């Protein structure tokens, strides 16, 4: 059933996400990538030589440099994939693993590959402090060390928090509204967890953490969620990085984790006897003025819907990465075209199991994470269509439209 050239997801999983300085702080992101590559291969029942191309997204290349870069190549070899597997390491900021999926999809559509993998990984706890120029000496000047995480911004641009907060206010999205969204994200995550939605074997797979002595410890749950969050507590937090609205409470953490998915054509999946998890109907990438980061997921979803020849009312689920609580609020406002009733409906169907404010945001992994979260939620709801979108630094945006139909069960 369905077109043999349809692009389908046949395996998707992620590690639990660790908070900054948490359980995964000493693991290089590449090692997390190895874990998740092995897991999606196991779930699909594929052998190491079956993957034609692997795309690997990560943002913090200074962390990659600890392992001498080409992380995609290193990870696939350590994971037991064939040495003939073509790979590419991608930095498109937080969009990186969604972009990885897009590039893999293009190879499949062009007939240049039959089975591809998209991976994303990041360990922000493992980000080094860098001392540039020391090789040639500084004369009488003091060496300068740079922390790439403090502040979270790009050279010669505003902080991301400042841009997100200012744009939010332009759309009438107040600090209180952002705190309410953050509180809702935390509470929805707790409800989803109690319902068994974030259990090992579906979206999640365990990570074995080596110990100095004794057996490894299994890391099995997202570490960042804060079940004790209250509106009163959020309201007391100070804004950060000169933002008018963004605080540590309505933004995600600096997290660690990895995610991966295997995609192929429906025809190849049928030949291999693999049941698809979902069909990828369309993808889209956009970019805007560098301060418009909170807007780009909304515009990216509009373009992806257009490419899929669908209207907004076709959607059952929306996933928008919570780079800040401001982002899904502004982006759904854009999708609603200032219709307050429609905005309320869109907000109710967005990030129904919580988002990055609760789950965490290991930047290179988040694009793939929101995509699989949407897919697994559609499957629990008996099928349907979802939109997923993520913003990346300096106002880049990626989106995808996925469908779970009767052929996926």
- Residues acting as catalytic residues: 94, 361, 391
Burial class (CB in 10 A: 0-12, 13-18, 19+), 310: middle
Q: Is the peptide bond before 285 cis (omega within 30 degrees of 0)?
A: no
Q: Which residues pair with 16 in a beta bridge?
A: none
Phi, psi dihedrals of residue 154, rounded to the nearest 5°? -110, 150
Question: Is the separation of the CB atoms in 57 and 119 below 8 Å?
Answer: yes
- Measure CA 3 to chain center: 28
User: Strands 317-320 and 384-392: what pairing?
Assistant: parallel
Residue labelled with tokens 């990346």 = 392
249-284 burial, b if ≥16 CB within 10 A, otherwise e?
A: bbbbbbbbbbbbbbbbbbebbbeeebebbbbbbbbb
Question: Is the separation of the CB atoms in 119 and 56 below 8 Å?
Answer: yes
């Amino acid at each position: 059933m369905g077109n043999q050239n349809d692009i389908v997801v046949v395996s998707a999983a992620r590690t639990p996400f660790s908070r900054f300085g948490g359980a995964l702080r000493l693991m290089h992101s590449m090692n997390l990538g190895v874990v998740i590559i092995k897991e999606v291969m196991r779930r699909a029942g594929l052998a190491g030589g079956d993957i034609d191309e692997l795309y690997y997204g990560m943002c913090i290349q200074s962390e990659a440099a600890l392992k001498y870069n080409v992380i995609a190549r290193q990870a696939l070899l350590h994971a037991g994939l064939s040495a003939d597997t073509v790979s590419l390491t991608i930095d498109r900021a937080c969009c990186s693993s969604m972009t990885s999926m897009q590039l893999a999809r293009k190879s499949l559509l062009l007939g240049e590959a039959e089975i591809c993998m998209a991976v994303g990984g990041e360990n922000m706890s493992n980000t080094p402090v860098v001392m540039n120029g020391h090789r040639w000496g500084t004369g009488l000047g003091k060496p300068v060390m740079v922390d790439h995480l403090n502040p979270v911004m790009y050279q010669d641009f505003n902080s991301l928090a400042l841009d997100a907060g200012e744009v939010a206010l332009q759309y009438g999205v107040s600090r209180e509204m952002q705190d309410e969204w953050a509180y809702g994200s935390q509470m929805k995550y707790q409800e989803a967890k109690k319902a068994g939605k974030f259990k090992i074997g579906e979206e999640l797979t365990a990570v074995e953490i080596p110990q100095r002595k004794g057996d490894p410890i299994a890391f099995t749950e997202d570490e960042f969620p804060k079940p004790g969050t209250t509106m009163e507590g959020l309201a007391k937090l100070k804004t950060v990085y000169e933002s008018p609205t963004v605080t540590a409470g309505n933004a995600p953490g600096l997290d660690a984790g990895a995610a991966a998915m295997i995609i192929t054509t429906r025809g190849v999946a049928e030949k291999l006897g693999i049941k698809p998890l979902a069909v990828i109907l369309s993808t889209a990438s956009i970019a805007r003025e560098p301060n418009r980061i909170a807007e780009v997921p909304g515009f990216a979803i509009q373009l992806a819907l257009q490419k899929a020849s669908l209207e907004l009312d076709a959607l059952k689920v929306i996933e928008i990465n919570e780079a800040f609580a401001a982002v899904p609020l502004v982006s759904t406002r854009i999708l609603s075209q200032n219709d307050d009733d429609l905005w309320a409906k869109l907000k109710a169907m967005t990030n129904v199991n919580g988002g990055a404010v609760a789950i965490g945001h290991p930047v290179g992994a988040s694009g793939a994470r929101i995509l699989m979260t949407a897919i697994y939620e559609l499957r629990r709801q008996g099928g349907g269509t979802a939109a997923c979108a993520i913003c990346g630094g300096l106002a880049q945006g990626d989106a995808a439209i996925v469908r779970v139909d009767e052929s996926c069960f």
